[in-house]
Homo-oligomer: A and B are copies of this chain.
Amino acid sequence: MTIDKSLLTGSTTMLILKLLDESDMYGYQMIEELRKKSNNTFELKAGTLYPLLHTLEQKNMLTSYEETADNARVRKYYSITKKGRKHLSEKKEEWKAYTSAVNDVLGGATFATA
């Protein structure tokens, strides 16, 4: 298997797809969810997320629809597609291979469990 060179910088895409694999969400909600699930490690910026969502939609990994919340505020929900799920699955494999390789260099099994 070939590791995508952009995996390091591209892990944000994987995380977004993972969130949407669990349920449809709107942008602002993704930022909050990512922050919570990672124990405040990820503070994804709006300026990073929205262009990324637009790109993923163009690539047919996501579809979107607008929905009016109780308070009459309009939110844009995103839904993962079959193509998006396939991409997520591939990225997860790459992530495992990459972290495993880094841990090998950092000292093998002794490091990862330290």
Residues of chain B lying within 8 A (CB to CB) of residue A9: 8-9
A68 within 8 A of B: no
What is the CA–CA distance of A102 and B92 in the complex, to the nearest angstrom? 10
Copies in the complex: 2
Measured between beta carbons, the chain B residues less than 8 angstroms from A105 are: 15, 18-19, 34, 37-38, 42
On whether the beta carbons of A99 and B99 are closer than 8 Å, the reply is yes
Flag if B92 contacts A42 (CB, 8 Å).
no
B residues less than 8 Å from A104 (CB atoms)? 37-39
Decide if A95 is an interface residue (CB 8 Å cutoff): yes
Let me know if A11 and B11 touch, CB within 8 A: no
Name the one of B15, B37, B97 contacting A41, with C-beta atoms under 8 angstroms.
B97
